[in-house]
Amino acid sequence: MRVGIGYDLHKLKKGRKLLLGGVAIPHTHGLSGHSDGDVLIHAVVDALLGALGQGDIGEHFPDTDARWKGSDSRVFAKKALALLRKQKLKISNIDATLVAEAPKLLPYKPKMKKNLAKIFGVRPNLVNIKAKTNEKTGSIGQGEAMACLAIVGLNG
Ligand code: MG
């Protein structure tokens, strides 16, 4: 059995589309970044790369590379899944914690779970998504950013 941990944070920008786990969520702000800013997919990809012993998302998709500008984060997941297949391993589970002050993410959890399962090619019951606020403190609590932590387990 192998596990990997992932963490990501993106700044919120007014008028940008908010994507979490590939799900569009209505909000005044969206996540900025070189790609589409999907902090949930990025954290899970990093956790998967970690479990595979394959470095991090920045090594595979440098933000200095114009190829990944505005990139759909599902592309990153696809590449990480190709590395997973190469090692003949399978995802046993995905657990992620989103940290965001607003909007309330509870109503979107089932959709994010379903979509994340589809993106990473696993059954929805192997995916768990948690959402917390930062108790109004710090950059996340002040609505300047969103973060995500994730763990991916693998088995042979
Ligand atoms: Mg990122």
pLDDT tens digits, 54-106 = 999 999 998 888 888 888 999 999 999 999 999 999 999 999 999 999 999 99
**10 CA from centroid of ligand 1 (Å):** 6
Query: For residue 32, how far is its CA from the centre of ligand 1 (angstroms)?
Result: 9
Q: How sure is the predictor about 53, in pLDDT bands with cuts at 50, 70 and 90?
A: very high
Cβ-based neighbours of 50, under 8 Å, separated by 6 or more: 3, 4, 5, 6, 56, 152
Q: Tell me how far the alpha carbon of residue 86 lies from the centroid of ligand 1, in angstroms.
A: 24
β-pairing, 90-99 vs 127-132, is parallel
The confidence score (pLDDT) of residue 51 equals: 98
Distance 37 CA to ligand 1 centre (A): 6
pLDDT, tens digit, for every residue of 5-18?
999 999 999 999 99
Whether residue 133 contacts residue 101, with contact meaning beta carbons closer than 8 Å, is answered with yes
- For the stretch 18-37, pLDDT in tens is 999 999 999 999 999 989 99
C-alpha 57 to ligand 1 mean position (Å): 8
Tokens of 148: 């995500």
CA of 2 to the centre of ligand 1 (A): 23
Reference 61, options 81, 48, 47, 77; nearest CA is: 77
